[in-house]
Amino acid sequence: MEISTQKQMQPPVIKAEEKVTSPWAEAWYSFKKNKLALVGTGIVIFFILLAIFAPLIAPEGINDQKMSVRLQAPSADHWFGTDDFGRDIFSRVVYGARISLWVGTFAVMGSIIVGCLLGILAGYYGKWVDSLISRIFDIMLAFPSILLAIAIVAVLGPSLRNALIAIAIINIPNFGRLIRSRVLSVKEEEYIMAAKAVGMKDSRILFQHILPNSMAPIIVQGTLAIATAIIEAAALGFLGLGADAPNPEWGKMLADAKQFMIQAPWTMIFPGLAIMLTVLGFNLMGDGLRDALDPRMKN
């Protein structure tokens, strides 16, 4: 941020120095003032660190079964208690952060890439390309998203990777529509007209001018989408269509625990809390970003 501000300031300008800041720096300034957004960012960073340093933090492995200590309540030895295989729930929740963040991030990245491509094509070229792509999006949005995800996983075969693919696919139309509408408005701007007039190639206009100028809403939507993607991954895991056996995916941990809900509630509470917290973190952060990046939200 600092650097870009400097760059902007390099050309000698007449206006007061304080006022001339890049839109990014301005956004960062208003983001910093938003307490909730900072809390959300804190939570997200916490879980990212948890995921990176899982082997150092977790006292046990993900599948260290010890039947002699099954279903034990939280204690000094096992902070979050043990599950029905005598595995340390704390360790599994910590490792589970890796899976959830991995699925959330990569699924959303996948949908952004494909969604942007399709959205740009639809918005920029219009006509039948637009109709075709938009109708496909309409069809996909007509399905309840989780049902579509279940169907896709059922076709591909249940596994974590396929769950990721399914989640990426169901989120494509959201990004596609978003980018299409951005492209529609940006392409009428004067600088694009100018670029066209100079004879710049379509691809260069698209990727050097239109795309960068449509980034802000995508970042906002992307952050919020990670939250939904994590929930969807957990839902698939809960239905037995996500991570397979020993993997400590939070949704799967919930499904395994539901039998012991009354007898050993900690088997459900901690994975549930983990899901809730990460989703909350991404949502707060995403809301903060929207407030900061959306020009209309400024007073």
Partner 1 sequence: MKRRFGLMFFAFILILSLGLAGCSNESGGKKTGGESGSDGGSSSGGTLVFGRGGDSTSLDPAVTTEGEAFKVTKNIYETLIEFGEQDTEINPGLAESWEESPDGLKHTLKLRKGVKFHDGTDFNAEAVVFNFERWKAGNKEQFYYYNSQFGDVIKEVKAVDEHTVEFTLNRILAPFYKNLAMSPFGIASPDAVKEHGDKFIENPVGTGPFKFKEWKRNDRVTLVKNEDYWKEGLPKLDEVIFRVIPENSARLNALNTGEVDIIDGVNFSDVEAIEGNPDLQTFYRPSLNVAYLGLTNTRGPLKEKKVRQALNYAVNKQSLIDAFYAGAAEPAINPMPKSVAGYNDAVKDYEYNPEKAKELLKEAGFENGFEIELWAMPVPRPYMPDGKKVAEAIQKDFADIGVKAKIVSYEWATYLEKARMGEADTFLLGWTGDNGDADNFLYVLLDQDNIDSNNYARYENQEVHDLFIKAQSTNDQAEREKLYKEAQVLIKEDAPWIPLIHSEPALAGRADVTGFKAHPTGSDELATVEFKK
Q: Does the footprint of partner 1 cover residue 70 (CB under 8 A)?
A: yes
Burial class (CB in 10 A: 0-12, 13-18, 19+), 212: exposed
Residue 198 touches partner 1, criterion: CB under 8 A: no
CB of 270 to partner 1, least distance (A): 19
Helix (H, G, I), strand (E, B) or coil at 61: coil
Q: C-beta of 289: minimal distance to partner 1 in Å? A: 36
Q: Which of residues 138-157 bind partner 1 (CB under 8 A)?
A: 147, 150-151, 154-157
Give 8 or 65: the residue with its C-beta nearer to partner 1: 65
User: By CB under 8 A, what part of segment 238-267 binds partner 1?
Assistant: 244-246, 256, 259-260, 263
Name the residue nearer to partner 1 (CB basis): 24 or 260. Answer: 260
| Contact with partner 1 (CB under 8 A) among 5, 8, 30, 65 | 65
Smallest gap from residue 166 Cβ to partner 1 (A): 12
Query: Which is nearer to partner 1, 81 or 119 (by Cβ)?
Result: 81
CB of 141: closest distance to partner 1 in angstroms?
Answer: 20
> Closest approach of Cβ 235 to partner 1, in Å?
13
Burial of 135: CB neighbours in 10 Å, binned 0-12, 13-18, 19+ = exposed
Q: How far is CA 174 from the centre of its chain?
A: 13
- Closer residue to partner 1 (CB): 212 or 246: 246
Q: Where are the alpha helices (DSSP H) in the chain?
A: 2-9, 23-33, 35-52, 54-57, 89-125, 127-142, 145-156, 160-186, 190-198, 202-204, 215-238, 250-257, 266-293
Q: Among residues 54, 90, 89, which one has the least CA distance to residue 70?
A: 89
> Measured from the CB of residue 260, what is the shortest distance to partner 1 in angstroms?
8
What DSSP line would sit under 80-148, residue for residue? Answer: T-B-TT--BHHHHHHHHHHHHHHHHHHHHHHHHHHHHHHHHHHHHH-HHHHHHHHHHHHHHHHS-HHHH
Shorter beta-carbon distance to partner 1: residue 153 or 226:
153
Longest dimension (CA), the chain: 77
Site for partner 1 in 157-186 (CB under 8 A): 157
Please name the amino acid found at residue 3: I
Least CB distance from residue 265 to partner 1, whole Å? Answer: 15
Task: CB nearer to partner 1: give 165 or 293.
Answer: 165
> Are the C-beta atoms of 294 and 220 separated by less than 8 Å?
yes
Which residues of this chain interact with partner 1, rule CB under 8 A?
A: 63, 65, 67, 70, 84-85, 147, 150-151, 154-157, 244-246, 256, 259-260, 263
